[in-house]
Amino acid sequence: MRLLLLSLCLCGLAGCLDPLAFLPGRLGAMVPPQTAVVELPTDPATCYAKAYRELAAMPARIVASDPQLYEISALVKEAVFFHVAIAGAPTTCTVTVQANVLPNKLVTGEFTEVHDYVTRLRL
């Protein structure tokens, strides 16, 4: 009898609990996007080639790229969407990196992909 009563109480309480409270991380929708800007002392074409090469080496799946507009879009680890835009003068360039965790992905640990990419660009 006690077992039946305990089971009924637990089942009743389970309907009141948030199932996301038991996940070991956060959903991507709860992680704010990150943006970083990097200044490099090279021309935009060389900067684009380096940005593309370093993004592909993360490893990332390049989903779109435009060498005329100097823009790259990629999916890193099948969980983080990157957009890289390059602008500049003949001798310098500015790389703007924007990254979002996809909303349906579970994030455990820290969101460091933007910092890692910017570090690779500066080397």
Nearest to 66 by CA among 40, 86, 42, 81: 86
71-76 and 26-27: which strand pairing?
unpaired
Nearest to 84 by CA among 65, 99, 75, 71: 71
Six-digit token string for 116:
């890692």
State the alpha helices, DSSP H only, in the chain: 2-14, 44-56, 113-122
Give the pTM.
Answer: 0.78
CATH code at 24-122: 3.30.310.80
The domain limits of the chain are: 24-122
Which pLDDT does position 45 carry in this prediction? 96
Low-confidence ranges of the chain (pLDDT < 70): 1-24
Please give the distance of CA 16 from its chain centroid, rounded to a whole number: 33
Which pLDDT does position 30 carry in this prediction? 84
